[in-house]
Chains A and B, each alone.
Chain A
């Protein structure tokens, strides 16, 4: 066991080393894109918990992300420090997620997808129309950057520049992966997979599927709230359009194209989906056409997603291989 752990550290070093050097090698625009990818990686990994491991196609993740973003921005407008607003945003999104999950998870399959889609549309609509609170379609501007933290005699670390923000979000991403990995490796995680693979059978073994589905959905909502807060204080401007159902779809696409039944897959998906249009230069319309066609091609030729294909090649997939959710 100890030896294995040692090996893991080597792998971790090999991956993290380049990631630490990365921001210093990128242009300003590339660094910005990287931070956006990191934030979406948090969203995609947490959505992946619901989609890939409990088998529920949720279409309201962007709404929960938006609630986190608005909560955090509005709290800092009320002079809360960012470092307090961030966990609160996670908690508020988590509570809303729980409240949405309770009725939605009673439905199954496509009914669940359309119910969550409805909640997603309603959340975006509230952000758009509750003008006294959210400024409506104009959005909130002038959101503060996170307060600098003191490094105990080594000066202070400001988060006004993208490089330090890259590390802040990166740490959060690692935290997300760590928590979700731990969850999946526990008894709870095994219960998740049993619910995904055969809900009736899991029920007959005494597994309360509703409780586990709700747990996964709520945990994912908390991370969506964190991601929202990180996004709001990075861009320092948010508007309802960023959190509509189109964003929910993009997130689902990241998860499935990357490989839903893995943790790394959604991260690969986020990189793939966000970086891809940049290769089409100034004509975003052509990029969207290519994007649509690539989605079709990937799904036809890699039904398990990019990471799923990769894992199959290595023949080390611990999950099911037939892939029917």
Chain B
């Protein structure tokens, strides 16, 4: 295959990978704090995309303000869900958390279906039709924006976790919740904050790819499955694992689809996961 096609596939992979990384980052943060495999996280991605869609089409807001409003409302929704759904199962076995998340996943998807129907809608974006050429590879401006905006958001989140007091508390709780509580860290406030930032990030991912992949109630399924693969590949709870895992998976998938077979495109992620775990059962960046 020619170099330009190779490059094209890598760039496509980076675009998809940035979406995976954003969803996976929130998922891994929530896992780090609550030890719940939060399936419902995929629906915040879907709802973020829908919120942006309605703000743009009904209210005539521009895409950036819409995305910000959507992120804010997803943060709020995430906090509400943490309070009424996840906190009551905090001390129950982890499987109960998984089932609760699954129940939420099913309920939210079908509520969206009742409200807005199953049609695929394109989120209108002024950048979706503008094409630019870079090193003999042509791509829409929207794809370029997905990549750079998500890098920016991931970087901001990283600063938040590493540099702020709240971020420090989040890391403390992830490391040892009991000791953190003894040190006077309010665990519930921390988990609410984690749900807020994670949900905002998922909402932003939905808003960014809405103009590329279209918006519909079932759109959350594939990203959440892939995000699970990413965080297991990267090691549960590992932030760099989720970021790099997301990009690696995106690139591997689009190269795999280009060079081998597109029918099994979605299978590469899962096959790669099995191979990695056979060699290192705690993931690439996971602790032993």
Contact = CB atoms under 8 A, between A and B. Distances in A.
Interface of A: 51, 57, 103-104, 106-111, 113-115, 117-119, 121-122, 125, 129, 245, 249, 252-253, 256-257, 260, 285-286, 288-289, 291-296, 299-300, 303, 323-325
Interface size class of B (residues with CB under 8 A): 35 or more
Given A113-B37, A118-B270, A323 B107 contact: no
A117 B231 CA distance: 14
Contact of A292 (B89, B93, B110): B110
A285 B110 contact: yes
A171 to B, nearest CB: 31
A113 B225 CA distance: 12
B277 A115 contact: yes
Interface string B219-244: 00000010011001000100000000
B196 to A, nearest CB: 20
Secondary structure of the B side of the interface? helix
A256 B96 contact: yes
B37 A110 contact: yes
9 contacts: A106-B277, A119-B270, A121-B266, A121-B267, A260-B95, A295-B99, A296-B104, A299-B99, A324-B93
Given A107-B281, A119-B274, A249-B102, A325 B107 contact: no
A113 to B, nearest CB: 7
B24 to A, nearest CB: 12
B100 interface: yes
A252 B282 CA distance: 23
Nearest to B236: A110
A286 B114 CA distance: 8
Interface in B80-134: 85, 88-89, 92-96, 98-100, 102-111, 113-114
Contacts of B107: 288-289, 291-293, 296
A220 B190 CA distance: 40
Contact of A118 (B95, B236, B271): B271
Nearest to A103: B278
Contact of B277 (A111, A295, A299): A111
A299 B274 contact: no
Contacts of B270: 117-119, 121-122
B114 A295 contact: no
A300 B100 contact: yes
Nearest to B114: A285
A114 B103 contact: no
B264 interface: yes
A107 B99 contact: no
A245 B108 CA distance: 19
